[in-house]
Amino acid sequence: MARITRPGLCICSAATIWGAVSACTAAAQSYSGLLVIRVFLGVTEAVFFRAAWYDRSQLGQRLAILFMFQMLGSAFGGFVAAACLTLDGWYGIAGWRWLFIVEGTVTVGGGIIFALIMPEFPHNARLLTPVERDYAVWRLQMEAGAGETHEEATVWQGFKLAMMDPKIWALVWCGGMGQAMGTIVNFFPTIVSTLGYSSLITLLLTAPPYILAAIVFYVISYISDRRNVMYLIIVSCLGVAVTAYIIALSTLTTGARYFAMMLMPSVCSDPQIMLYKTLHLHMARPFPKRAAGVAMINAIGGLSNVWGSYLYYDGPHYYAAFGCLLGCTFSFFITITLYLVHVRRLNRLLGGTPEDQCKAMKSGVTQHQVDMGWRYVGY
């Protein structure tokens, strides 16, 4: 996107491609086919996390809005899925395949329509006056350094820098653990059905946890933006996740299990919002590297959705699933804590002697950022 003058058009094109790839899921006939489609979905999703307009006091809330609509879609998606499943057998196509066909077709249509109104970069946005464009660029450069309009690194160089940065690999691993936790969403109606209610009541009971998650996303992201914290929010969510999984493993009491289910959508996605915010703020320059990092989280971390789907058997306790998710939660905590130790060390170097600052610059910080007093924030 560094070489594209109309990123709004690029994002809508990516949405159109995403819809086409998602619709291709209906044609998958094997595990390997699903795996390939999942990787391509992750690559196209990287564009959706492009954040060229927002500073760190706004970024969390904007990412939260993206996840909020995902949760609201999940809350009411069951009704859409039920309608699509009634098409089972039409033209010899299974109902679940119709679901992907409808989902993909609608997305393709939306991508084409919104291409007409999506804005561009701040420096060439047609909806702003020249003075407003200059101000939008200035406030971003004052926070992360020059580069949003004059980036010299190519896409390939950015990819190589991302591949060699251990910080990005730590975030990729955490993203994989977070998306493994998020596989609950894929099987949530099945998990809720273990409460023993009818199909209609079960469908209705799946909606409140998603609505709560949407509210929690915005509240937590608002706090993150205002207080400039990310690590504490991540570990708090992981702590609540441990509680929810232990309850699900240990009891069949309806009230306790539904309480745990109310927490699950929130605790699996809140840490992912903070991960994307961390990547955007800590890998600010060059932004082709930042874009590559997002693609790596989506494509590599997203593979957890594949193997995680094989864990949900032997209900109602789902020992394999919740036991594995507990392990993922602890792995997430250990990795993000090591990340915290590492970036705090880099911050000490950035505040030290010129020799120390040169050491910190080897981790991807530019001279302009050093001169501005830039730091790894939120940890």
- Please write the tens of the pLDDT for every residue from 60-99: 667 777 777 777 777 777 677 777 778 888 888 888 888 8
CA angle 24, 51, 65 (to 5 degrees): 75
The residues near 329 (Cβ < 8 Å, ≥ 6 apart) are 177, 181, 238, 241, 242, 245
The arithmetic mean of pLDDT across residues 234-251, rounded, is 94
pLDDT at 72: 75
Domain boundary assignment for the chain: 7-372
Would you state the pLDDT for residue 48?
A: 63
Please check whether residue 242 is in contact with residue 326, taking contact to mean a CB–CB distance below 8 angstroms. Answer: yes
Average pLDDT of span 301-322: 88
Q: Report pLDDT for 250.
A: 92
What is the predicted pLDDT for the residue at 141? 65
Q: Poorest-confidence range of 54-63, 205-214, 251-260, 323-332?
A: 54-63
In this prediction, residues 295-304 reach a mean pLDDT of 85
* pLDDT at res. 60: 64
Check pLDDT > 90 for residue 38. Answer: no
What is the arithmetic mean of pLDDT over 260-279? 89
Kindly tell me if the per-residue pLDDT of 150 is higher than 70.
no
According to the model, what pLDDT value does residue 46 have?
A: 60
Which CATH superfamily includes the segment(s) 7-372? MFS general substrate transporter like domains (1.20.1250.20)
Query: Hey, what amino acid is at 291?
Result: A
Q: What percent of the chain has pLDDT over 90?
A: 23
Radius of gyration of the chain (CA): 22
Q: What is the pLDDT of residue 78?
A: 67
Q: Is residue 236 scored above 90 in pLDDT? A: yes
Q: Which range has the worst mean pLDDT, 31-35, 209-213, 350-354?
A: 31-35
181 pLDDT band, cuts 50/70/90, is very high
Nearest to 28 by CA among 36, 39, 20: 36
Q: What is the pLDDT of residue 144?
A: 54
Tell me, yes or no, if the pTM score tops 0.85.
no
Span 164-185, average pLDDT: 92
Closest CA to 307 of 188, 169, 186, 206: 186
pLDDT at 145 > cutoff 60: no
